[in-house]
Every structure is written in C-alpha cells, then in structure tokens.
Chains A and B, each alone.
Chain A
Amino acid sequence: MPYEIDYLAIAPELIIFVTILVVLALDLFLPRPLKYWTATAAVAGTALALLPLALLVIDDQVVSMFDGSYVVDEFAVVLKGLFLIAAYVVFLMSVSYIESDRYYQGEYYFLLLASLLGSLVMASSRDLIVLFIGLELVTGPLYLLAGWRKGDVKSNEASMKYFILGVLSTAILLYGMSLLFGLTGEVTFAGLAEATQGMADQPAMVMAVLFVIVGFGFKISAVPFHFWAPDTYEGAPTPITAYLSVNSKAAGFVAMLLVMYLALPGLADVWAPALWALAALSMTIGNLAALRQTNIVRLLAYSSVAQAGFMLVPFAAAAVAGADLEEAFAATVIYLVIYAVMNLGAFGVVIAGANKTRSGEIEGWAGLAKVDAKLGVLVAVFFFSLAGIPPLAGWFAKFAMFRSVIIAGGVTTVVLAVIAAINAVIAFYYYAKVVKSVWLDDVAGEFPGDVEAAPSGSLRLALGISVALTVAIGFYPAIATFVGDASRVIASGG
C-alpha cells in the first residue's frame, strides 16, 4: 500500500526545503552586490512556513504518517513554531552580522536552513531512525557554521571542538540506539515502549539507556558533558551561538525527552536517577563556573549549561518520584519556550552591545547605559529575566519548574528543589554582574565602537520581538501555559 501523505501536515518542512533550494539557486546566479537577497529569501521562507502551522493549530488533529514514524500532533506543532520563530529571530540577527563579513552569505543561510529543517523533522519523529536523522541534520551544518570566521583562531577551535565531541557523542548515541534495537527488535517509540517493559534489570538494557543519555547529554551540554560548550560558544559567530544555545539545545532536549517519555517509560528506574544527577550537576557546576567568567558570551555559555540543569529538573524529579510525567513534560516545554525567548534576546543585546564596545568582556561594557540607555534597559530586561526575576518572563519558567517538582513529592525531589532554589540565587549573582557593569559602573575611557549608531533594522526587529515576548509572558504567563498545555497532546504514533 502506498503511503498516505498529508501535505498540509508537512507543509512547514516542505516550505523550508524549497527555501533551501531557492537560497542555493539565488546564491549561484546573483552577482555579489545582490547576495543579500539570499538573506531575504531565508527570512521570508521561515516566515512563510509559519502559515501552515497556524492552520494546523486551528485544525487541531493528530496526523500520523509512515507507519507512525512521523507524527504531527499539537506537541510537534508547538515545537515547530518555537523552532521557526527562534530561527527567524536568528536570521534577523545574522543579516547585518554576516553582511559585514562579505563572504559566503548564500552558504550561511543554506546551512542554517538545513539545520532548521532537521529540527522540524525531529519534532515529528516517533522512531529512532527518523529522530537520529533529524538530530544529525540539526548538528551537521552547525559544525561548519561554528567555524565561520575563518581568520579567527578561536572560531577554528570552536568548530574543531564541537565537531570532535559532537561526532563522539553521535557515535555513543547511535551505539545506544543500536543496542536498544538489538535487544527489542523495535525502532518505533510505541514498539519500544511495549517491548522494554520489565527489562530494567537486564545489564545490556541498562547500558543501552545510559549510552543514549550520555549521547544526549553532549547535545544539551549537561554537566559532565558540557566541555565543548564555552569554547564553541565563544568562538562561533554570535548569531550561531544564539542558535546553538536555543534551537540546537532545544532540539537535543526534545529528542531526549521524546525517547525517555514515549519510548522508554518502562525503564524509568534506570534513567531517572541519571537525569537527577545530570540536573543537579548541571545546575551547580554550570552556575559555579559561570560565577568566574569575565567574558559575556562564556558567561552565557555556562548559564545555558545551568539552565539545561533547571530544564531537566521537572522530568528528573517526576521520574524519580514515580509521579505522572505529563506535568513534568509540560513544565519542561514551558521552560524551553521561555528560555528560548529570553536567551535569544540576550544574544541580541550581545551583538548590539559589541558593535558599540568592540568587546566581549564584561568590564568592557562598563557604563554602557550612560551612552545608550535603551540598550541598557534591554540588557537589564534579558539578564534579569534569565535570572528569573518577576515580572519578566523568566520567573514563570522557574515557577513552572518548581511547581512540577513539588507536585511530584517525595524526599529526593525536595532535595532537588532545594538545590534548584539555591542555584537560582547563585545564578542571579552573575546575571546581575553584567547589569551592574552596564548600569552601575563608570565608563572607563571612550568606547572604541560607534556609540551613536543605532542597531540595524533587522536586529532591532529581533530585539523587539524578544523583548515584547519577554515582558508579555512575564505579566501574562497564560501565553506560555498555552504552549505547555498543547504539548500534553503528544501522540506516540505507531
């Protein structure tokens, strides 16, 4: 029987795919001064792909294709929306950044779009093979993009470290998956969920699960698999860093949760303690390392390690306590969405600020608010939001996290909640350090960059979207809970 394909359901993927081809073709034929059209095409294509998503939200149906390997449900739609909007913002941030470098514009957008396509596929994947292809499509182009600033040694180092550790993690992940397949003969999540019931005491199964977790641990840069992140973040072009810390991290997270939640719920005894430890370690070590950073991008790198820890908390807590995972799943998705919004904003101000200060050092930003109060306000908004200070969006992410932890109950979860609470305070200190430098410190001499120049139009739009969402979600978190609730409608396919 030929496969039934619902073209509306996969329209976003198709549109991005066509956009990729268009960008490639434009790059081939356009003369150099007109290359910026590739950027326009990428931005337009991403925006266009949001349209069918809107239809799918209204349509509100679960579409299952390819023997249940590919499912478009509300969860997938919501995440695709997140990936598309985040990528849209990254494109906007890229325009002036890449244009100033003057080379390979077309390839840049082609690679980024390919990575975006991977994340869209991944959100719908309901078997190990599709998931793996999606995930690798996300990371593959990023190895190249991380090394985009060819002349810069740090960028080369970023790319190299990311590539080597990325490939290693892929190998480990794949090995774990192959063990899963070997032990059960299944690749679909639904099949695995059934077949793995009661196999928690088999050593090979334990090993398979642990390999999978280690593989994902690299992707989401959880401690102790985070070593690549700070160097890669620092060396990569800033828009790519933003993409790494938002899209790519979110993709890794979603993949991990899908596998744990849909495919291996029967093995919670194995993976729950591991996730618990990852969460506690990531929060604590990520935060403590972030305290010592003097470079803003490195600080954001460690902060994103710590944030990954916070994101793991609901799932780890619920699984260890044997509580309902649905609540934890929703809390994680809420956290992910809010984190994406504010972290993109944070990287947006890093780009805007670097134009003025020509510096990535926190001290180099001293007194920036005195010459550009608007940028100063944005720095305060995004960094305090990351710290979780009301009434900015970050508070609700933390709130949803604590809520799902307490709902799980039990001693181990309370311990995790206390660790998280203490870490929330530590985290505040280093986020405030940036704000302090910008607002409270005095200007040390002149800023080397052009302080008068306003950020480019596209960067302003990117910052505008981020700040509007950050403030709106902060005052009216129902926007975010809608996303969390939608993610409860998740179908295992098959």
Chain B
Amino acid sequence: MEWFDTWGLTIIVFLPLVGALLLGLMDKENEDALKRTALAVTGLAFVASLVLIGQFDFGGGGYNSYQFEVNETWIGAINANYHVGVDGISLPLLVLSTFVVVLAVIYSWNHWDEPKNPKAFLILMLILATGMNGTFVALDLVLFFIFFEIVLLPMYFMIGIWGDRSPRKVPGFAKEFETRLYAAIKFFLFTLFGSAFMLLGFLALYFESGKFGERTFDITALTELGAGGAFTGTFAFLVFGAMFLGFAVKVPMWPLHTWLPDAHTAAPTVGSVLLAAILLKLGSYGFIRISIPILPDEARNWAAFIAVLSVIGIIYGSLACLAQTDMKRLIAFSSVGHMGFVMLGIATMTDIGINAAIIGMVAHGLITGLLFFLAGSMHHRYHTREMSRLGGNIKLMPVMGGILAFTAMASLGLPGLAGFWGEFMSLVGAYNPLPGLSLGVFRTSMVLGAVGTVLTAGYMLWMLQRVNLGEPKEEWEGHEFQDVDRFELTAWVPLIVLIVVIGFFPKLIFDSTTDTVTALVEMAFGSDATASARTMIGG
C-alpha cells in the first residue's frame, strides 16, 4: 500500500470535504440518498483511519518523527507547507474523531432537530470533520491554524440554526434573546479572540526562527529549535501567553470557559456530541503538540499557573454541576471539570501526566459524547431537560435508563471503565511533577483534584437519582415512551463497548502514546525527567 503512506492522511482529512461538495450538488428532498452518502463518506474516512492503525509502526522512532508524512509547498512566499503526519499522540485522537463522526451520522438518521434540513446539517457535519481531522495531523503552524479555525463556521451554524429556541435573559440587555443566537455568537467570539492571539504567537515563532536559518512555520523544525533552547526569555513568555489564550479558550480552562455551558446546552444533540467529544480536544492537543515541545522552558514556568487554573476548573465545574437544574447543562459543566483533569495532567509535564491527559481526552470524548447523545434522546421524548420534572426514567425506559446509569458511572471515574485512567493518573502525576516544579502547588492540586473526584461522583449520582430513580412524575402518566430505537443503539453500543474495553485495557491507548510521550518529555526536559511511567502502566 505504497500510495496509502503518502495519501492516507490526505484522504482521511479531505474525504469529508469532498463529501460535503457532493451533498451540495444533491437534491434536498432525497433525504435517504443524502444520509447514505454522508454515511459512506464518513465510514470510508473511518475505515481509512483503521487502515492507518494497521500500517502504523508502533514504537517507531523518538519524538518528532512522524509517519504517513506528506510535506509539499503550499504558500511558497511565507514558507508554509502542506505538512501532515501522525505519531503516537495524535493517532488515538484522529481515530476518535473519524469514529465519533460516523456515529453522529448514524444517530442523525431519525433525529433531526428543528428546522430539520438534513442536507445543510450533514454538509456542516462533514466540513466539521475535515477541520477536526486536519487539526490532529497538521504539522505546519499555518495549516494547523486553518484547520483549527475551519471548525468554527459549521459549529456556529449548527448552534445558531438547529439550537435551542427558548428565550434567555442576557446580562446587560433589557430584551431577551433566543438561547441559540446568544450561544452561537458567544462561542464564536470567544474562540476567535483566543485564536487571534494564537496566530500572533505563531507569527512571532516564525520570525524568531529566522535567527537560526530559514524562517519556518514547520512544527517539526520549530520543535528541534525549541529542544535546542532557541526560544527563551520575554519572547518565549509572550509567545506562550498568546498561544495559551488560543488553546485555553478552546479547552476550555477556567476562567475562559463561560462560552461552553451555553454552547453545549444550546447546540443540537449531534452538535453537543461533536463539540464535547472532539472540539475541546483541539485545545489540549495544541498544548501537547505545540506549546510544550516548542517552548519547553517556558512551559515549565507556566506549569504551576496552569495547574492552579485546572484545579479551580475541576472544583468550580463540579460545584456548578451541583447547582444545575437542566440535565444537559449539568453535563456541559461536567466537561469543565473533566478537561480540568486533562489540563492538570499536562501541567505536570511528566510522561505519566501527559499520558493521562491523552487517555483522559479519549475517554472524555467517548463518555461525554454518549452522555450528550442520551440527553438529546431523552429531551426528544420528554420535551424537557428539567431534572425536577424527570424521574423514574428507568421504569419508563429501562434500556435508556440503564445506559444512562452506566455512562454516569463511567463519567464519575469508576475503576474498570475508561474514565478512571485519566483522572487517576493525572492525580498520580500531580503527586510527582517534573523535577523543579513546585511540589507544594502540585500536591495541593492533587488533594483538591481528589476532592473534585468526590464531587464528581456526588453530582453524577445526584443526577442519576433525580432522573433515573424514584417514581415517574404524574404528568407522564398514560404516556407511552418508546425505549431506545435501533439507530440510537447502533450509535451507542460501539461507544459503550469502547468505554469498557479501554477501562480494562488502557494499554490499547498507552501502546500508542507511551513511547512518543516519553520521547517528548525527554526531548523537552532532559532524560532524567521521565518518571517511572513505564513500570506503572506496563508500557
């Protein structure tokens, strides 16, 4: 498969975009053909990413060596190239992305939020897929920026057109706005604000690299320079800060998270799923792929600050969850907490922590994705998300209730399910951060993070109790509820299976990530920096 080595990634990235163009030419009325084409295209991209796993050389090379690389001139004048490739860190995330999109298409089969229009919705979903897949494979800062930004437009339209139409008070305005309109623009403005500064940071790196040879946007070349200590001092501080803004908004980290509850709650089901499962990861992935390798010394300086924000995010997210009355909003806030664990893992700058972050990202993608699917399906049936009106769900819809119970357990980090590893290991990493980082800060973070896991269990169980248990409310008497239908099952069972499988065999992910992460930490912080992650996770 010689051609796949060079074209594989390009196919995975651009196949959905081609699909979007195809759908654009098709008849709006022919819903079946539209759905089949979308399924075929995303399915092909997923299969291609499976072939990628098959062909991938695990344990090949140190950090900064990529596979399936393509490096072609793109914008010659500024030395920006079409440079793509995968390594052990991006592979799981890329596969997660292609996988979740297929499930989203399947789920959409008979779930269309008002005002329906499957053609437009599927086109947006496919464009989104190109942006997400592209971000995980881009090895050029300009290319990365473009893919990072491409996801904004489809998501803006998804939230804005298919989102929640209930009115909402906005502080500072006398009149009420529809939730979808407020959430869509807020989502866009926050992300745009962050990425404008991120772009300035990228440009600064580009010019600074000119001092060491030809100016370059190439992530691999900049990583080389960064490992050699090229970027230091005030320059590095400003660049890291600028990129931090871009990534932290996307993750999102407290206090830049306020767009998230609105966007997640207002988005249509599939939008929420993709937002939670993939889009948030673009930010944390940026930290691992760009910030740490290119500016290792500065990353060390920022580590404690990031850890503190992460822990605030964990505690704040959990407390906010306890105050929610809306089920979907609760799940949205839980993302703030979970991404806090991911960022805490990254902040430790150790191989354990970064491994934890990656498995945490994958697990959060699967679990919270499933939770949003469930919330959407329940809303579809009850026409409300107010937990005070729900109750006894498991009696009305045994299968749905069962899956909800399972997913909530996974989300609170029950050992044996996927959610456990990320939280547990990032706390372990925080106990023993990179030598030189403040032990006081990180161990306090660890303790507070542990308190956070208790709070997480608290709000998840509380939600289960209010939604699933007890007796159904009177208002539902005489209602016939259809339990989970076949499209829902087809979309959810793979997620459930993976949550269990990864819970028991985290090796599946670690086999891909460990070597690369260890190499990354050694390259960035020297060989004495790697703790005993190997023995711990059996890598």
Contacts and interface: CB of A to CB of B under 8 A. Distances in A.
Interface of A: 373, 380, 384, 389-391, 395, 399, 402-403, 406-407, 409, 417-418, 421-422, 424-425, 428-429, 432, 436, 439-440, 476-478, 481-482, 484-485
Contacts of A391: 146, 149-150
Contact of A428 (B145, B192, B204): B192
A304 B160 CA distance: 27
Contact of B146 (A390, A425, A478): A390
Contacts of B161: 439-440
A481 B75 contact: yes
Given A391-B150, A399-B199, A403-B203, A425 B189 contact: yes
B185 A432 contact: yes
A406 B150 contact: no
B193 interface: yes
A428 B161 CA distance: 18
B205 to A, nearest CB: 10
Interface string B195-239: 011011001101100000000000000000000000000000000
Contact of A407 (B120, B145, B196, B207): B207
A284 to B, nearest CB: 15
A395 B150 CA distance: 11
A406 B209 CA distance: 13
A27 B454 CA distance: 85
Given A395-B149, A429-B189, A477-B75, 4 more contacts: A399-B199, A406-B203, A417-B200, A439-B160
Interface string B70-106: 0000111110000000000000000000000000000
Contact of A424 (B180, B184, B196): B196
Contacts of A389: 149, 152-153, 192
Interface of B: 74-78, 120, 142, 145-146, 149-150, 152-153, 156-157, 160-161, 180-181, 184-185, 188-189, 192-193, 196-197, 199-200, 203-204, 206-207
Contact of B77 (A390, A395, A429, A485): A485
30 contacts: A389-B192, A390-B150, A391-B146, A391-B150, A403-B203, A403-B206, A406-B203, A406-B206, A409-B207, A421-B196, A421-B199, A421-B200, A422-B196, A425-B189, A428-B189, A428-B192, A429-B185, A429-B189, A436-B160, A436-B181, A436-B185, A439-B157, A439-B161, A440-B161, A440-B184, A477-B75, A478-B75, A478-B76, A481-B75, A481-B78
Contacts of B193: 422, 425
Nearest to A402: B203
Nearest to A474: B146
Contacts of B197: 421
A440 B181 contact: yes
B348 to A, nearest CB: 31
A384 B152 CA distance: 11
Q: Chain A CB within 10 Å — which of B76, B146, B196 has the most?
A: B196
A468 to B, nearest CB: 14
Contacts of B184: 436, 440
B74 A478 contact: yes
Contacts of B156: 432
B385 to A, nearest CB: 22
B377 to A, nearest CB: 25
